[in-house]
Amino acid sequence: MTGEGFDSEEALQSAVSLLVTVVEACGAVVIIVGALWAFVRFVGVGLRRRDASAFVPVRLVLGRFLALGLEFQLASDVLRTAVAPSWEQLGQLAAIAAIRTALNYFLSREIAEERRQVAEDQDASGRATQPGPGPAPA
């Protein structure tokens, strides 16, 4: 390998590792912000209300934060495959990507399920508060 080729390869590796760090940090920031926001909301809702359904919307938003953070982390995994020199690192990368993909899939399913439940609850409560039918028209 020529010296110039070696230099460009090194430059590519350092650029990719910098990108990986930046993208992974973005994912981590999203997850941390989501967790702290959810904590504040959980405590606030827990102090004000006693029913379990009040926590479902907060969990929904937390799930969205986690899914977004996971997307960033999966992006960093994809970037990392560009510079994974050993089989050991490739294996770890594959395992992490599998965990993150599975978690993303299950989170999406849970979010859809919770959203459906919230919509049903809102529908039921709206129906319950609707005034009854008036007298029949003549």
Partner 1 sequence: MNDALDLAALTVSAVALVSGVVVLISTRRLSAALPVLLDLLTAAGLLRLAADPSWQRIASAAAIVALRHLLVHGLRVEATTRPTSTKAHQPASATTNHPATTAVPTRSSTATGEAPRSGARPRSRP
Footprint of partner 1 (CB under 8 A):
21, 24-25, 27-28, 31-32, 34-36, 38-39, 42-43, 45-47, 49-52, 55, 59, 62-63, 66, 69-70, 73, 92, 95-96, 99-100, 102-103, 106, 110, 113, 120, 124, 127-128, 130, 133-137
Amino acid at 8: S
Phi, psi values for residue 85, rounded to 5°: -75, -30
129/124 Cα distance (integer angstroms): 9
Residue 83 C-beta: closest distance to partner 1, Å: 15
Residues 6+ apart with CB under 8 A from 127: none
User: Which one, 69 or 79, has the nearer CB to partner 1?
Assistant: 69
* Closest approach of partner 1 to the CB of residue 9, in Å: 24
Rounded least distance, CB 32 to partner 1, Å: 5
Whether 104 contacts 71, CB under 8 Å = yes
Residue placing its CB nearer to partner 1 in the complex, 8 or 117 = 117
Tokens matching residue 55: 């926590």
- Name the amino acid, one letter, at 34: G
Nearest C-alpha neighbor of 114 from the set 72, 53, 27 = 53
> Shortest gap between Cβ of 11 and partner 1 (angstroms)?
21
Nearer to partner 1, 2 or 130 (CB): 130
